[in-house]
Amino acid sequence: MTAPLIAFIDDDPAIGEAIANFFAAYDYEAAVFNDAETFLASTAIDRADCIITDVRLGGMSGLDLLDRLRARPACPPVIVITAFPQDAIRNRALSAGATAFFLKPLPMDELLTSVMQALAKGFDGTQ
């Protein structure tokens, strides 16, 4: 059985490396991207079992990425993260279909639980 692929999009390479190492410890594969455009051009867009994206990225925002992903025929669960605790950002992410929303610094145990729950539900929230 292949390990679930978690695609992580954040413009901070240190966070990306930490996330990849964290999920690897739990037998997940992590593909890390520094921007939404690189992710969209990669094969990970069709392989990812769960996507975690920061809101503020260079170029396309994580919220715009979420909109693009939700417009696809089959969208894996998307978790949105940010360092900016604004209710408007949280509300937009959740109303656009984000599975979960977290503030940085990331609560890693809660993030792992959220990923596990999202993977159990599958694409578009179906089981």
pLDDT in tens, 80-103: 999 998 999 999 999 999 999 999
The whole-angstrom separation of Cα 20 and Cα 15 is 9
What does the pLDDT average to over 20-39? 96
Closest CA to 77 of 47, 28, 118, 43: 118
- DSSP 8-state secondary structure symbol assigned to residue 2: P
In whole angstroms, what separates CA 67 from the centre of its chain?
13
Confidence tier at 55 by pLDDT (50, 70, 90): very high
Residues paired with 54 in a beta bridge: 81
Confidence tier at 124 by pLDDT (50, 70, 90): low
Question: For 37-69, b where at least 16 C-beta lie within 10 A, e where not — what string?
Answer: eebeeeebbeebbbbbbbbebeebbbbebbeeb
The whole-angstrom separation of Cα 57 and Cα 115 is 21
Question: Per CATH, is 5-120 categorized as 3.40.50.2300?
Answer: yes
Element (H, E) at 7: strand 5-9
